[in-house]
Chains A and B, each alone.
Chain A
Amino acid sequence: MISIIVNGKEQTVDVSPETPLLWVLRDALGMTGTKFGCGMAQCGACTVHLDGAAIRSCVTPVSSVAGKKITTIEGLSPDSSHPLQKAWIAEDVPQCGYCQSGQIMSAAALLMQNPKPSDTDIDEAMSGNICRCGTYQRIRRAVHRAADMMAEGGTK
């Protein structure tokens, strides 16, 4: 039995310790907002936060995060009120939408570190997240928009 803290809630799961966190979230806990894309940390669809930093859950053995705080897309905000979620809606970023949980989680980690990122900062932080629909231009715009909202108090 392994305990992890997901979105503030302690969860105990009965899986083999090397099971990737991604599949613990999806199969054991039924939290399907975090996506499977490649299984080798190449695409970023499975991005979650570990103690506030972006990690690829598809290559993270669950045993390595026992007792640690995990945040998934479902826990980013209770009501889609995170400035990034608002900005994503305002810019109508998603197309198929499959990669967007990972994109938003990577962007959220970036904004925690760097509240006013430049285009280059965004490119760097987001280069591990593939979008096959090509929404990169809107993602960039939405990250700037979210940064502006946060600078103005996060309510706009």
Chain B
Amino acid sequence: MSELANLSRRDFLKVGVAVGGGLVLGFYLPGRDDSLQAATESGAPFAPNAWLRIGTDGGVTVMLHKSEMGQGIMTSLPMLVAEDLEADWSKIRVEFAPADIAYYTWFTPTFGAQFTGGSRSVRGSWDILREAGATAREMLIAAAAENWGVAVETCRAEGGEVIHKPSGQRISYGALANKAATLPVPKEVPLKDPKDFRLIGARTARLDTPSKVNGSAVFGIDVKVPGMLIARVLRCPVFGGKVASYDATKAKAIQGVRDVVQIEGGIAVVADGYWPATLGLKALEVQWDEGPKAKLSSADITATFKALAEQPGAVARHEGDATQALASAAKKLEAIYEVPFLAHATMEPMNCTAHVRKDGCDVWVPTQGQTGAQQTAMKITGLPEESVKIHTTLLGGGFGRRFEQDFVADAVEISKLVGAPVKVIWSREDDMQHDFYRPATYNRLSAGLDPQGLPIAWTHRIVGPSIMSRSFPDRVKDGIDPSSVEGAANIPYNIPNLHVEYVMKDTGIPVGFWRSVGSSQNAFITECFLDELAAAAGKDPYEFRRQLLDKAPRHKAVLELAATKAGWGQPLPEGRHRGIAVHFSFGSYVAEVAEVSVDKDGNVRVHRVVCAVDCGRVVNPDTVEAQMQSGIVYGLTAALKGEITIENGRVKQSNFHDYEMLRMEEMPVIEVYILPSTEAPGGVGEPGTPPIAPAVVNAIFAATGKRIRKLPIRSEDLKKA
């Protein structure tokens, strides 16, 4: 157990300095008041809990236990602390927290690890960070009252100062820091009434932006450690394959190559820089044992899934009697929907820097999983937890990929073998061909309508690989991986007879969490099939959904808001058509309307997307807007272009020329409307992604009368005959 872990949250007095001292990667925020830095970091006397420190200069350092990968937590989490602390926002600084049990026991008890994912940074930190701020505030008020010799009740805090109400006298937090540190930590502290919020809900400029416009922001790939070497790893191109033998003679002869070592992941070339490491890699002669997947192809996987779709699976939801209802239905529909494997393709390729010594190990890494990184390094080095320090850097995109630990293992293993600090950098090709992919799935659906066109039965059988069987095996129960059926088992529509099944099938292709996980495909499948029902019933797809959402008021409200803002039912310019979809994921409700045109060659152009979101109480509206835009682009890219195909056990795509990204000229205008809400906060990093594929595909149906049931959307399927 670490030093931090032995302390309860309430007994945290003054240890914050020790936490910060030398262990934490300081984060430079240009444009902030630099004069606050020294006092805050070296001599902060007041550290009432693991989350914040206050220096004698009034600087407030907030410890970030979550990773900043673009989603804005470097700003929104400090906002939570600052709100109840009544801090002066201009004096807030941030630091990435080390991997430590202190930073997750209250947050992710069901997962038992410090990680960033599931769009849970704000909703998981809401109470604890506000409480952390309120605790410090109460202690500062008590310190001021003692200083002045007045009753605590006559004092209040505002803007980084305590004010004596009757006299109007003020004293700054900095001047109170030493005194506050000597006071007992209160057990219960009042939280602010939301009507008094100053920061939460206010459009707030991101703290990390200035460093991201001048090249000073430090991502993992930018880490510099004295004496550091750069490594690349040649991995077996076939999943599950191994090194049979290798000859490094030619690689070692290349100028700048220092060493070649074999690790679990493959053969590592260690050099003075990325370029000599790359030349060395190309000069390696390796014989691979390609293993049992050497002949595997995407066609084989589809065939396996198709056969399994004929057999029953584990039941994820069962209501009424769908079989009987289908038999008596006035109209019956059946469909097969398919989605491909997808790569994450973060802009910053995977990388990690490690320095393994006899007595300790430091790891600098753009990670979504601090506990995982620490455990990975402990396992490889045999060092105890307190000797393995994880320094989180900024992440050049995460999207679930950086939850994995393969690149951490590479760096730690190589550093251990060569006895020097080593930064491992993956090439784009390494990144794309050795990902943990969004699962490909095969889906069989059927539904029945009554004579009035109302759905009376819905069945859905999902066949595909399971992410949680590897990542969180104890979350898989009775054959159901909850992440595989999310968004399918919980469709919100009022359909009396429902049956949803899951057939788990590992394919040998590694799968992992990909922005919005199961909802990334299940929203497409269910919202497009529902659109098919609307068409079969001869009803407007918006009205059809609306009448089925009586028991789902939050779904209904975002659906109505999106439709209204999009001008649903009103005329569009020639050739443009609308599609709509609504989906709940990660605590939030999102509806999107896409305006699409399809030319005679079948090329799809998305002109405009109107997005309505109910994510409960909003912390930073600008971030919610940005995350909706981001999620939409991520999902749209996948719908229009994304496909990883397997041939001979390996990934066919290798870089952005054959795994394409949406570019500027294809960017639709995106409008985001936030539904005001006082509900508990929901997630925002992922929920924007699921509805876009079905909204676009449904608009394509409106434009062409053609149903796309297999992603990505292909122009050849939409070409006019």
Kindly provide the distance from the CB of A143 to the nearest chain B CB, expressed in whole angstroms. Answer: 10
User: Which residues on the B side are within 8 Å of A97 (C-beta)?
Assistant: 70, 208-209, 211-212, 217, 219, 394, 396
The chain B residue sitting closest to A16, CB to CB, is: B255
> Is B213 in contact with A85, judged by CB distance below 8 angstroms?
yes
User: Which residues on the B side are within 8 Å of A6 (C-beta)?
Assistant: none
- Which of the residues A92, A101, A123 comes within 8 Å of B622, measured between beta carbons? A92
> Is B655 in contact with A42, judged by CB distance below 8 angstroms?
yes
| CA A96 to CA B211, docked complex, whole Å | 11
| CA A130 to CA B31, docked complex, whole Å | 27
Known contacts A37-B428, A122-B664, A123-B664: A76-B214 contact under CB 8 Å: yes
Most chain B beta-carbon neighbours within 10 Å: one of A31, A92, A135: A92
Q: A98-B219, A134-B629 are in contact. List 7 more A-B contacts (CB 8 A).
A: A32-B224, A36-B274, A76-B214, A80-B214, A96-B394, A97-B396, A132-B634
Known contacts A127-B665, A129-B664: A33-B633 contact under CB 8 Å: no
Contact with B along A1-37 (1 / 0, CB 8 A): 0000000000000011001100100111011111111
Which A residues between 94 and 122 are near B, CB-CB below 8 angstroms? 94-101, 104, 122
> Is B273 in contact with A132, judged by CB distance below 8 angstroms?
no
Asked if B348 CB lies within 8 Å of chain A CBs, one says yes
Kindly provide the distance from the CB of A104 to the nearest chain B CB, expressed in whole angstroms. Answer: 6
User: Which residues on the B side are within 8 Å of A129 (C-beta)?
Assistant: 663-664
Give the interface size bracket for B toward A.
35 or more
Most chain A beta-carbon neighbours within 10 Å: one of B210, B346, B427, B626: B626
| CA A73 to CA B205, docked complex, whole Å | 22
Asked if A124 CB lies within 8 Å of chain B CBs, one says yes
Most chain B beta-carbon neighbours within 10 Å: one of A96, A130, A131: A96
Q: Which 6 A-B pairs have the closest CB atoms?
A: A33-B215, A134-B633, A98-B396, A96-B70, A95-B70, A97-B212
> Is B214 in contact with A28, judged by CB distance below 8 angstroms?
no
User: Which residues on the A side are within 8 Å of B656 (C-beta)?
Assistant: 38, 40, 42-43, 130
Asked if B630 CB lies within 8 Å of chain A CBs, one says yes
Give the interface size bracket for A toward B.
35 or more
Asked if B667 CB lies within 8 Å of chain A CBs, one says yes
User: Which residues on the A side are within 8 Å of B661 (C-beta)?
Assistant: 43, 130, 132
| CA A36 to CA B423, docked complex, whole Å | 14
Contact with A along B213-247 (1 / 0, CB 8 A): 11111110110100000100000000000000000
Asked if B386 CB lies within 8 Å of chain A CBs, one says no
Asked if B272 CB lies within 8 Å of chain A CBs, one says yes
User: Which residues on the B side are within 8 Å of A127 (C-beta)?
Assistant: 663-665
| CA A36 to CA B311, docked complex, whole Å | 47
Asked if B463 CB lies within 8 Å of chain A CBs, one says no
> Is A133 in contact with B221, judged by CB distance below 8 angstroms?
no
| CA A4 to CA B127, docked complex, whole Å | 54
- Which of the residues A28, A92, A95, A139 comes within 8 Å of B664, measured between beta carbons? A139
User: Which residues on the A side are within 8 Å of B206 (C-beta)?
Assistant: 92, 94
User: Which residues on the A side are within 8 Å of B68 (C-beta)?
Assistant: 96
> Is A92 in contact with B205, judged by CB distance below 8 angstroms?
yes
User: Which residues on the A side are within 8 Å of B394 (C-beta)?
Assistant: 96-97
| CA A35 to CA B395, docked complex, whole Å | 13
- Which of the residues A20, A96, A122 comes within 8 Å of B347, measured between beta carbons? A96
Known contacts A80-B213, A89-B210: A27-B272 contact under CB 8 Å: yes
| CA A76 to CA B213, docked complex, whole Å | 10
Contact with A along B619-662 (1 / 0, CB 8 A): 00010001001111110000000000000000000011100011
- Which of the residues A16, A93, A132 comes within 8 Å of B209, measured between beta carbons? A93
Most chain B beta-carbon neighbours within 10 Å: one of A73, A101, A132: A132
> Is B274 in contact with A92, judged by CB distance below 8 angstroms?
no
Asked if B669 CB lies within 8 Å of chain A CBs, one says yes
User: Which residues on the A side are within 8 Å of B210 (C-beta)?
Assistant: 80, 89
User: Which residues on the A side are within 8 Å of B626 (C-beta)?
Assistant: 92, 95, 135, 138
Kindly provide the distance from the CB of B672 to the nearest chain A CB, expressed in whole angstroms. Answer: 10
The chain A residue sitting closest to B211, CB to CB, is: A97
> Is A30 in contact with B347, judged by CB distance below 8 angstroms?
no
- Which of the residues A27, A76, A131 comes within 8 Å of B275, measured between beta carbons? A27
